[in-house]
Structure 1
Amino acid sequence: MTPENEPTNFLYPFIDAKEDDPTSLLADLAASAQAKAAESAALRRITLEANTDLLNRAATELARRFLAGGRMFTFGNGGSCTDSTTLARLFARPPIGRPLPAWSLTADQAIITALGNDVGFELVFARQLIARARAGDIAVAMSTSGNSANLLAALAEARQRGLYTVGFAGYDGGAFAESPNVDACFIVRSQSVHRIQEAQALVGYRLWLATQEHINDHDLGAA
């Protein structure tokens, strides 16, 4: 494959440029970083604005379930695996507010590899929910495509078991957006995986913050 056909050239055109002037190269690097930062900030702002009402509704339901003894289970593949683990840790070990019971279903390598080997990768999350989840809990699936078979299987299992289901997706929402097994679907409308995941991280943070606020309001009302 020739350099001009490299799939990353549209992201970083200066990498293969015949540029001998370091000052010019640094200027290109700075301009690229600034453009991506501006694009990311704009997308995050638009995504939050589009999901304001849904965030409040979902946070209200999460708070209600946590206060009733519910627990959260998060899951995803690849980069979304990391994001789902980060979200679970934010709920479980928050910088402020009440710690809430939340676990990532991707955290235990032994479980993931055993289920992948024994029953198939499509069921690595669904089978964990069968073993651990109960009615009143919360399932959060994070994806850029919204089409991952193992996430859809887990969401179907969660819905059947009485969990409140939350999906994070990019592009047009994929199968998440049309699934009756997703109670709340947060869609980041972008074609860039990088920008999608950056915006999803902020939406996840806002979901946690709004949930904490609803719980705090409940505690103040009960005092």
Structure 2
Amino acid sequence: MKGASDSSAPGEDVRSLYPFLYHGTSGSPTAAALMAQVRESTVDKVCAAIRLREEVFERDRRRLVDCAEAMAERFAHGGRLLAFGNGGSSTDAQDLASLFLSPAGEARPLPAFGLTNDIAVITALSNDIGFNAVFSRQVAAFGRGGDIAVGLSTSGNSANLVPAFEEASRRGLLTVGFAGDDGGRMAELESIDHLFVVPSSSVHRIQEAQTTLYHVLWALTLTALDGERPVKR
């Protein structure tokens, strides 16, 4: 029985990740020490997130304005926005589309939709053709020359984003990409007109910064659509 009990004891790696689960056991930190660790970790993460955002916006602020103006021109001529991504980036793509389509307050709504909204389409394409085609096939079906295609990936290596950007570019869509780390395969594509790379290896920090980026891009696009107040450079 002693051997069985020892084998079920949590390893140090697990205890270090979830110290609050083992409070009161031998060698565990006190409540005060544990709270101090939580506070320090929280402050460190907040500071890292702020520094990353500052770095990205200092580097890309002019490019964000250029992208917003290009998007505004497409919207002004009846263009629509198609957003896509996988996993957490799928959620962000849906959030991006809803931001443009249903903004809070009195901001003008703009035509936008996410390509992961219809699970029947996603599963049909995945089952009948292959998962790599779930976005490119929809771009081919829905995309028009004056539209905008926006793809998000934390790694930049999502296999189904590459053909989607290629298809969008062939059809004359304005293409906008959000990637992380060094940009991955997306950084090598000539089919992406505007690419914003968040230089971090942390998926959490990348997605936080990407969310801020597309909110700023939305605000700049609305400003650019207002002919009385052009975007200042």
2:32 paired with 1:23: yes
One-letter code aligned to 1:25 = L
Match of 2:67 among 58, 61, 67: 58
Offset of residue 154 of structure 1: 0.3
Offset of residue 52 of structure 1: 0.4
For structure 1, which runs of at least 5 residues remain unmatched after alignment? Answer: none
Q: Say if 1:188 and 1:199, in contact at 8 Å, map to a contact too.
A: yes
One-letter code aligned to 2:113 = W
For structure 2, which runs of at least 5 residues remain unmatched after alignment? Answer: 1-6
Aligned match of 1:209: 219
Q: Matched residues in 1 for 2:228 and 2:148: separation?
A: 21
The farther-off stretch of 64-73 and 35-44 is: 35-44
Offset of residue 211 of structure 1: 0.1
2:63 paired with 1:48: no
Aligned match of 2:4: none
Q: Matched residues in 2 for 1:3 and 1:108: separation?
A: 43
Match of 1:82 among 91, 116, 132: 91
Match of 1:150 among 149, 160, 164: 160
Offset of residue 177 of structure 1: 1.2
2:84 paired with 1:72: no
Q: Matched residues in 2 for 1:139 and 1:184: separation?
A: 11
How many residue pairs get aligned? The number is: 217
2:181 paired with 1:171: yes
TM-score of the two chains, using structure 2 as the length reference:
0.88
Match of 2:11 among 3, 10, 20: 3
Q: Matched residues in 2 for 1:65 and 1:93: separation?
A: 18
Q: Say if 2:139 and 2:167, in contact at 8 Å, map to a contact too.
A: yes
One-letter code aligned to 2:173 = L
Q: Tell me how large the CA RMSD over aligned residues is.
A: 1.9
> Where in structure 1 do 4 or more consecutive aligned residues deviate above 4 Å?
12-17
Offset of residue 175 of structure 1: 1.2
Sequence identity of aligned pairs in percent?
46
Offset of residue 219 of structure 1: 5.7
Q: Matched residues in 2 for 1:127 and 1:219: separation?
A: 39
Q: Matched residues in 2 for 1:79 and 1:164: separation?
A: 23
Q: Say if 1:3 and 1:16, in contact at 8 Å, map to a contact too.
A: no
One-letter code aligned to 1:43 = L
Q: Matched residues in 2 for 1:147 and 1:87: separation?
A: 20
Q: Say if 2:84 and 2:150, in contact at 8 Å, map to a contact too.
A: yes
Secondary structure (helix, strand or coil) at the match of 2:109 reads coil
Larger Rg: 2
